[in-house]
Amino acid sequence: MIKQARIIELPKFLDVRGNLSFVEELKHVPFKIERSYWIYDVPGGETRGGHAYKENQEFIVALSGSFDVILDDGEYTNIYSLNRSYYGLYVPKGMWRQMQNFSTNSLALVLASTHYSPTDYIHDYEEFKKWIK
Ligand code: TYD
């Protein structure tokens, strides 16, 4: 099993007027949130990610539609299918991660533990394998 990565179920208030879910930092999300970004209008068949972060941790929610997140800790690989807006995937630092199989009109919300930093990225898989050792 992949180290520490896990699906976290969020609170949900089911209501005939429409449902409501929420996240709180250091409660449902196991880090302080420094940044949020979202991925949308992904054309069919496209892949996002394909890199690792040395320090940044993430919490990924499929706010709408569905997609898969593939995590690789250098030893094991797991595929997490996200298709409900009340589940989040916690992605620890130091994971190779890729997002694919986006459904039409899917919307991925990503909460991140650090500000954007290009130097935190590892873009080359072989470099990642060396770094993780
Ligand atoms: P990137 O993280 O490389 O996306 P993906 O791995 O899904 O291809 O980001 C794409 C571009 O967006 C890149 O040029 C950097 C920019 N970007 C920011 O400026 N701030 C951010 O918080 C993020 C996530 C990306």
Pocket residues: Cβ below 6 A from ligand 1: 35, 37, 48-49, 51, 116
50 within 8 A of 42, measured Cβ to Cβ: no
39 within 8 A of 97, measured Cβ to Cβ: no
pLDDT digit string (tens) for 6-50? 999 999 999 999 999 999 999 999 999 999 999 999 999 999 999
How much distance in Å is there from the Cα of 133 to the middle of ligand 1? 26
Instruction: Report the atom number in ligand 1 closest to the C-alpha of 51.
Output: 6
Please choose, from the candidates 82, 80, 84, the residue with its C-alpha nearest in 3D space to the C-alpha of residue 72. Answer: 80
Residue 20 lies in a domain: no
Residue 31 lies in a domain: yes
Residue 49 lies in a domain: yes
pTM for the model:
0.96
Domain that holds residue 120: 2-12+26-132
Instruction: Report the atom number in ligand 1 closest to the C-alpha of 48.
Output: 7
Domain count, the chain: 1
51 within 8 A of 123, measured Cβ to Cβ: yes
Residue 79 lies in a domain: yes
Residue 17 lies in a domain: no
Tally the C-alpha atoms within 13 A of residue 111's C-alpha that lie toward its C-beta: 18
**Catalytic residue annotation:** 51
Residue 21 lies in a domain: no
Instruction: Report the atom number in ligand 1 closest to the C-alpha of 50.
Output: 6
Residue 35 lies in a domain: yes
Amino acid code (one letter) for 22:
F
| CATH code where residue 71 lies | 2.60.120.10
Residue 85 lies in a domain: yes
Query: Is pLDDT at 2 greater than 70 in this prediction?
Result: no
For ligand 1, pick from 35, 48, 96 the residue to mutate: most ligand atoms within 8 Å of CB: 48
Burial of residue 16 (number of CB atoms within 10 Å: 0-12, 13-18, 19+): exposed
Please choose, from the candidates 37, 30, 46, 17, the residue with its C-alpha nearest in 3D space to the C-alpha of residue 107. Answer: 37
118 within 8 A of 55, measured Cβ to Cβ: no
pLDDT digit string (tens) for 54-90? 999 999 999 999 999 999 999 999 999 999 999 999 9
